[in-house]
Structure 1
């Protein structure tokens, strides 16, 4: 349960970033769940 809350919190925090801020991190908005789950690595 605690792990799920951490996952949701991370998704929410990344979702609150602007598209520009996400681009600076190398993340597309649609990739947020995959990045948080660890299924997609940042370059």
Structure 2
């Protein structure tokens, strides 16, 4: 049961991170050292 809740929580965090980073401009992403193609990877790392 807790494993499912943890996976769901991680997924919600992943989606939230992807959504927030996707809203940033290319300049803002560049200032953070992130390329648009790196958003999913960064979000995956942030949600673990």
* Smaller-chain TM-score bracket: 0.7 to 0.9
Larger CA Rg, structure 1 vs 2 = 2
* Larger helix share, 1 or 2: 2
Unaligned runs of at least 5 residues, structure 1? 39-43
Aligned residues: 38
**Which TM-score applies when normalising by structure 2?**
0.73
**Which TM-score applies when normalising by structure 1?**
0.81
Find runs of 4+ consecutive structure 1 residues off by over 2 angstroms: none
**Alignment RMSD, CA only?**
0.7
Ranked by relative contact order (alpha carbons within 8 Å, sequence separation 6 or more), the top structure is: 2
